[in-house]
Amino acid sequence: MSRLRVLFAASECTPLAKVGGLGDVVGALPGALRRRGHDVRVVIPRYRRTMQAVATRLARPLRVTMRDRVLESAVYETRLPSDDVPVYLVEHDELFDRDGIYGGVAHGYDDNARRFAFLSLAAVALEAVTGFDPDVVHFHDWPTALGPVHMRIRGARAASVLTIHNLAHQGAFGLEHSETLGFGRDAAALVGVEHAGGVNFLRGGIVSATRVATVSPRYAAEMLTLEGGAGLSETLRGRANPITGILNGIDDVLWDPRTDPHLPANFDASSLAEKAVCKRVLQRSLGLRERADVALLGCIARFVHQKGIDVLAQALPALLALDVQLAVLGAGEPWAERFFARLSASSPNVRAVIGYDEGLAHRIEAGADFFLMPSRYEPCGLNQLYSQRYGTLPIVRAVGGLADSVEHGVTGFVFEELSPESLVDAVKTALAVRRDSERFRAIQRAAMTKRMGWDQAAPQYEALYRLAMRDRAHEA
């Protein structure tokens, strides 16, 4: 099989710039593809936080035309720590030299349309300064979704693939922003960017990309429904070829209970006594009673509607009546932060840490017995994968990637209905299984030994790239 040349264009790439799961995918999948012999590189903006990265400035500047203005940018090249993946950092201080990547959670930066229109264009124009001539440009979510649009307008030779990590974020802006997108209003309408009286980056990408993918097979099906399509189901159904669902992998070096440096003790499926140490230390550090017999439930999430954090809150009185402990880590909607902080202060069996804490996230994954994810929708989800690897059985709602990656009674517990009662019932089922220690151990072992690294997803993306190249060749 021939060696593929693929350029990843994205707004995040772990560890250089991460906000969520998108960054993890862009940080890990290129390396997995390189291990299969392909030449895969990444382009992201040179944010303030990426300026410390050791990087070489390329000799030639990048020229990007936005409407009638030519913007000149320096391009830097750095490498990811794993697999030596080349990453191009596109500099444009006026747009990217800021503390944040997108701005506040509720409202992004006012000029996000312009910032990410620029990034999309820069990715398409990059070849002129790097000499890297990709077969496929792989775009991720709305911040680069205008890339496929520009490639189509230019009749680019390369195929374009757009992965949707979360359909809820579309890059929808007022029509006045169309001036800043790099093409005029008529063209915007023509290529599907204009939508519902404004511009919609993601819609443009969905209409224009050679192939569209998402992060789990179940989510690929859900997004075609009116309920799950976030206003774009018709656009998605209108594509000539189907949406491909490929389950994300996890970084199995960073998330490996055998070597995880955040843990007080390391373990694997054959040394679960060490997991008990993690539980005890976690209980102690959080101020929970150090009891081995009580089930410790973990939950790490952005406190947002998507994660069903309201359902968990409603379920808590019934959950706590079951004699369980709960360790919550998260931040987000103010009501939820207040709710969990108050409960943490008043209940001996609940500890909530409000904020973002990578180390604690690892320690909860390792120390808990069960992990709760009552999501409304979940494109893929990572925590249910981490928790399986750490022998912490996930209790998840049957949506999106949760349904695709947790098997009820085999690697965790799955419930259908989004309600406090269903969540509580699922926890009761899990607790009953835990009382049968042999069965519980068997499920833990099955979860822990399941393969879920990127080496599973990489061949599927490779096949998708080849389909996209074939489609592009036919079109041309």
**Shortest Cβ 72–ligand ADP spacing (Å):** 34
Number of residues that bind ligand ADP (CB under 6 A): 16
In whole angstroms, what is the distance from residue 217 CA to residue 221 CA?
A: 7
Nearer to ligand ADP, 348 or 359 (CB): 359
357 binds ligand ADP (CB under 6 A): yes
**Shortest Cβ 348–ligand ADP spacing (Å):** 23
Phi, psi of 320, deg, nearest 5: -70, -20
Q: From the list 56, 241, 259, 356, which residue makes contact with ligand ADP (rule: CB under 6 A)?
A: 356
**Shortest Cβ 282–ligand ADP spacing (Å):** 14
Q: From the list 84, 227, 293, 358, which residue makes contact with ligand ADP (rule: CB under 6 A)?
A: 358
381 binds ligand ADP (CB under 6 A): yes
Choices 79-87, 110-118, 325-333, 453-461 (CB under 6 A): range interacting with ligand ADP: 325-333
Number of alpha carbons in the 13 Å side-chain half-sphere of residue 290: 8
- Asked if residue 13 lies in contact with residue 31, where contact means CB atoms within 8 angstroms, the answer is no
Q: From the list 330, 374, 391, 400, which residue makes contact with ligand ADP (rule: CB under 6 A)?
A: 330
Q: From the list 87, 90, 212, 382, which residue makes contact with ligand ADP (rule: CB under 6 A)?
A: 382
Residues in Cβ contact with 462 at an 8 Å cutoff, skipping those fewer than 6 apart: 4, 33, 36, 38
- Asked if residue 78 lies in contact with residue 139, where contact means CB atoms within 8 angstroms, the answer is no
CA 457 to chain centre: 14
In terms of DSSP bridges, do strands 5-9 and 39-45 run parallel, antiparallel, or are they unpaired?
parallel
- Asked if residue 453 lies in contact with residue 254, where contact means CB atoms within 8 angstroms, the answer is no
Choices 171-179, 264-272, 274-282, 377-385 (CB under 6 A): range interacting with ligand ADP: 377-385
300 binds ligand ADP (CB under 6 A): yes
Choices 74-82, 222-230, 375-383, 458-466 (CB under 6 A): range interacting with ligand ADP: 375-383
Radius of gyration of the chain (CA): 23
Q: From the list 6, 7, 11, 21, which residue makes contact with ligand ADP (rule: CB under 6 A)?
A: 21
- Asked if residue 89 lies in contact with residue 54, where contact means CB atoms within 8 angstroms, the answer is no
Nearer to ligand ADP, 84 or 358 (CB): 358
Q: How many residues does the chain have?
A: 476
Q: How would DSSP label each residue in 7-32?
A: EEE-S-BTTTB-SSHHHHHHHHHHHH
327 binds ligand ADP (CB under 6 A): no
Q: Name the residues that contact ligand ADP, by CB under 6 A.
A: 20-21, 300-302, 329-331, 356-358, 361, 380-383
